[in-house]
Amino acid sequence: MARFYAEAAASVDSRNGIVDKFAGDELVALFIPGFAGEDHAADAIEAALELLQRTGNDDAEAWLPVGAGVHLGKAYIGTVGEEEALDFTALGDPVNTAARLAGVAGAGEILVSEVAAAAAGLDTAGLETRSLDLRGRSEPLEAFVVGVVAQGAHMAPR
């Protein structure tokens, strides 16, 4: 797990993201526009792609099968708790949705919501689209499947 944590943190840090927390084999990362910049959505996808590469999910010999989810929206960011039990975190639907996307992503896949793909300038031509029934959402969420070896997955020029 220490190796995964190091690789995941490096992937997030390289794109100006913030590691919110590690929970078992899961990472929650935030790409806040004020810190990550205007290209925060593209940076989140690129960090996820980098993580797939760093964990070997770009070939048949992944040392840790990893999938990821990327979603965009306004979340509540700040500290929760009291005194010694104080933690910085993000709360809200975008955080929950990203976690649920990650939870249904297969090894080597990144599930990117339509809103995140549009904000990132992701070229979605030729990408698989999935309509997902996610817990906590009344309507299915459309997501694009991006992977290290996915055909046609690239960002619009910045």
For the stretch 74-85, pLDDT in tens is 999 999 889 888
Distances in whole angstroms, Cα of residue 97 to Cα of each of 32, 56, 58, 65: 16, 25, 25, 21
Distances in whole angstroms, Cα of residue 44 to Cα of each of 4, 14, 48, 126, 140: 17, 10, 6, 21, 22
Among 20-34, 49-63, 129-143, the range with the most confident prediction by mean pLDDT is 129-143
CB 12 within 8 A of CB 47: yes
How confident is the model at residue 157, as a pLDDT?
39
- Residue 103's closest CA among 82, 132, 129? 132
Q: Number of helices and strands (H, E) in the chain?
A: 5, 10
How confident is the model at residue 140, as a pLDDT?
96
Hey, where are the domains in the chain? 2-155
How confident is the model at residue 2, as a pLDDT?
92
pLDDT reading at 49 higher than 70: yes
Per-residue confidence band for 61, with pLDDT thresholds at 50, 70 and 90: confident
Q: Which of 21-25, 52-56, 74-78, 128-132 has the lowest mean pLDDT?
A: 21-25
Q: Which residues contact 39 (CB under 8 A, 6 or more apart)?
A: 120, 158
Per-residue confidence band for 151, with pLDDT thresholds at 50, 70 and 90: very low
Quote the tokens at residue 94.
Answer: 């975008």
Distances in whole angstroms, Cα of residue 83 to Cα of each of 22, 86, 88, 134: 21, 6, 12, 35
Per-residue confidence band for 149, with pLDDT thresholds at 50, 70 and 90: low
How confident is the model at residue 150, as a pLDDT?
47
Looking at domain 2-155, its CATH architecture is 2-Layer Sandwich (3.30)
